[in-house]
């Protein structure tokens, strides 16, 4: 009998619905559980309660990553853990599935292992990584990056939030500053189940994606400094207006991306100071998110952004400064894991497409230290990072079944 026969998908649906209510309020749509806020703490508390129900060994590391581990026979407890995971922090006004689906599906697989009465041949764990979204603290995928050795605990604790709080202080405040050094739990293999967050699977009507590549990501904050002056008295030729430069760069960047094969460019935040109707601003600040599955194309896009900034800054007489907030090269996932996902989907009679991930995920960080791969399920109309995010319950269950039997297959469990 396959391990997936022991799944109880209704519990996954209940837990997703429960988590979806944490971080809601009457004033805004969706839910907002930005990393290390009170809402994130409530989500974490609920997650830990669910991990305790399954008698898992719980570890919290020094950047706040939460692990629940199903222990094997004591003789095998020293072996690296087979890890399933994702995140439970969200963007602002988020959907219900981004991240939570992977974590709660991981719990469902551990529950199936319990129900089957199987003692796994090595530890099997679920993890919720801290600050995957990167909205409040940059870089994104921070918890998994620390596990992969890409950031030290000291550097993480010193990071400043967009609201100025420090990571270390906020982590302690919500009670999730553990003592374990990130990365000290050795990982055998890592699988992340996630909604696609794009339109490919939904458009094709294909229920499962086996993700072989994750595109590169470049985040920068651009600050353009000009001269504040009176909107009614300053002739156009005497202005040093950073808003105009920002607008020119943003429009040209969109045109540039449109002319490339695969580059995406997004300006998701924009502020002017002093932000008054009759004042030429002295500062424009905006963020740029560039992505491409090809590293050389991503480098080209970054260089193009710089040349646009220089060109328009010179013609308007303003100065420009860029801060790199995150920079991750494209990642190729472990071929043997991608193959297992395809095999399991075929055995279950579910159509599966191999594909590239457009979104960033914790799996791209863990891939630095352990074989990793991802399973995608469709997102209705490709919508995500929005309260309208939706995946059909049947697709959620198909993804869970594939995940479950992939785990069983990788562990060599026969029931
Ligand atoms: C993570 O959600 C991303 O920005 O891709
Ligand atoms: Mn996610
Ligand atoms: Mn996300």
Q: What is the spatial distance between Cα 154 and Cα 159, in angstroms, rounded to a whole number?
A: 9
Q: Is 364 helix (H, G, I), strand (E, B) or coil?
A: helix
* pLDDT at position 183 over 80: yes
Q: How confident is the model at residue 292 (pLDDT cuts 50, 70, 90)?
A: very high
Cβ-based neighbour number of residue 357 at 10 Å: 25
Q: Give the DSSP letter of residue 6.
A: G
Q: Give the mean pLDDT of the chain.
A: 97
CA of 231 to the centre of ligand 3 (A): 40
Structural tokens at position 272: 């002017």
CB-proximal residues (5 Å) to ion ligand 2: 98-99
Q: Which residues does 349 contact at the CB level (< 8 Å), separation at least 6? A: none
Q: What is the pLDDT of residues 107-150, one digit of tens each?
A: 999 999 999 999 999 999 999 999 999 999 999 999 999 999 99
> Which residues are 74's β-sheet partners?
none
Which ligand sits closest to the CA of 86?
2
> Which residues are 286's β-sheet partners?
222, 270
Cβ-based neighbour number of residue 255 at 10 Å: 9
For position 414, what pLDDT does the model report?
77
Rg (CA), the chain: 23
Average pLDDT over residues 278-300: 98
Chain CA centroid to CA 282, Å? 34
CA of 248 to the centre of ligand 2 (A): 32
Q: Where are the alpha helices (DSSP H) in 4-122?
A: 9-21, 38-53, 100-115
* Best probe residue, ligand 1, of 102, 144, 268, 359 (max atoms within 8 Å of C-beta): 359
Residue 271 Ramachandran class (φ > 0 left, ψ -120 to 50 alpha, else beta): beta
Handedness of CA 228, 229, 230, 234 (dihedral sign): negative
For strand 264-266 and strand 279-280, is the pairing parallel, antiparallel, or unpaired?
unpaired
CA of 291 to the centre of ligand 2 (A): 16
Q: What is the spatial distance between Cα 192 and Cα 338, in angstroms, rounded to a whole number?
A: 11
Q: What is the pLDDT of residues 385-398, one digit of tens each?
A: 999 999 999 999 99
Which ligand sits closest to the CA of 374?
2
Domains by residue range for the chain, with CATH: 3-214+331-411 (3.40.630.10), 216-328 (3.30.70.360)
Which ligand sits closest to the CA of 97?
2
- Ligand 1: residues with CB < 6 A are 133, 140, 359-360
What percent of the chain shows pLDDT beyond 70? 100
Which ligand sits closest to the CA of 90?
3
Cβ-based neighbour number of residue 124 at 10 Å: 26
CA of 265 to the centre of ligand 1 (A): 13
Q: What is the pLDDT of residues 151-176, one digit of tens each?
A: 999 999 999 999 999 999 999 999 99
Instruction: Give the ligand 1 atom nearest the CA of 384.
Output: 2
* pLDDT at position 180 over 70: yes
Q: What is the spatial distance between Cα 397 and Cα 10, in angstroms, rounded to a whole number?
A: 9
For position 304, what pLDDT does the model report?
98
Q: Exposed, middle or buried, 407 (CB in 10 Å: 0-12/13-18/19+)?
A: buried
Got the DSSP string for 187-228?
A: EEEEEEEEE--SSHHHHHT-SEEEEEEE-EEEEEEEEEE---
Instruction: Give the ligand 1 atom nearest the CA of 141.
Output: 1
Q: What is the spatial distance between Cα 128 and Cα 130, in angstroms, rounded to a whole number?
A: 7
pTM of the predicted model as reported, rounded to 2 decimal places? 0.94
Q: What is the spatial distance between Cα 85 and Cα 407, in angstroms, rounded to a whole number?
A: 12
> Which residues are 272's β-sheet partners?
284
* pLDDT at position 415 over 70: no
Instruction: Give the ligand 1 atom nearest the CA of 98.
Output: 2
CA of 320 to the centre of ligand 1 (A): 26
CA of 82 to the centre of ligand 1 (A): 24
Q: What is the pLDDT of residues 342-367, one digit of tens each?
A: 999 999 999 999 999 999 999 999 99
């Amino acid at each position: 009998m396959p391990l997936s026969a022991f799944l109880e998908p209704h519990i996954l649906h209940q837990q997703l619905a429960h988590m979806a209510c944490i971080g809601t309020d009457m004033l805004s749509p969706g839910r907002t559980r930005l990393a290390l806020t009170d809402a994130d703490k409530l989500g974490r508390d609920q997650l830990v309660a669910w991990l305790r129900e399954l008698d898992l060994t719980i570890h919290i590391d020094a950047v706040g990553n939460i692990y629940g581990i199903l222990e094997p026979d004591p003789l095998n407890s020293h072996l690296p853990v087979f890890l399933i995971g994702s995140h439970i922090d969200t963007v602002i006004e988020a959907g219900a599935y981004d991240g939570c689906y992977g974590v709660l599906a991981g719990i469902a697989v551990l529950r199936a292992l319990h129900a089957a009465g199987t003692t796994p041949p090595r530890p099997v764990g679920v993890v919720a990584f801290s600050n995957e979204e990167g909205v409040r603290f940059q870089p994104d995928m921070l918890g998994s990056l620390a596990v992969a050795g890409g950031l030290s605990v000291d550097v993480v604790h010193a990071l400043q939030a967009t609201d100025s709080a420090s990571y270390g202080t906020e982590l302690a405040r919500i009670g999730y500053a553990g003592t374990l050094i990130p990365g000290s739990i050795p990982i055998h293999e890592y699988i992340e189940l996630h909604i696609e967050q794009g339109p490919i699977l939904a458009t094709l009507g294909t229920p499962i994606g086996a993700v072989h590549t994750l595109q590169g990501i470049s985040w920068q904050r651009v600050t353009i400094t000009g001269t504040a002056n009176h909107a009614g008295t300053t002739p156009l030729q005497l202005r040093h207006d950073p808003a105009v430069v920002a607008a020119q760069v943003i429009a040209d960047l969109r045109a540039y991306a449109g002319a490339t094969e695969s580059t995406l460019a997004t300006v998701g935040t924009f502020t002017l100071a002093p932000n008054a109707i009759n004042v030429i601003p002295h500062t424009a600040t905006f963020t740029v998110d560039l992505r491409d599955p090809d590293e050389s194309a991503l480098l080209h896009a970054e260089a193009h952004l710089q040349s646009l900034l220089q060109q328009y800054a010179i013609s308007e007489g303003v100065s420009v400064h860029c801060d790199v907030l995150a920079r991750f090269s494209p990642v190729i996932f472990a071929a043997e894991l991608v193959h297992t996902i395809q095999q399991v989907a075929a055995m279950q009679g579910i159509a599966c497409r191999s594909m590239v991930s457009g979104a960033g995920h914790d799996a791209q960080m863990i891939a630095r230290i352990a074989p990793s791969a991802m399973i995608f399920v469709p997102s209705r109309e490709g919508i995500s990072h929005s309260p309208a995010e939706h995946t059909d319950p049947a697709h959620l269950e198909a993804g869970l079944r594939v995940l479950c039997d992939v785990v069983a297959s990788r562990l060599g469990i026969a029931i």
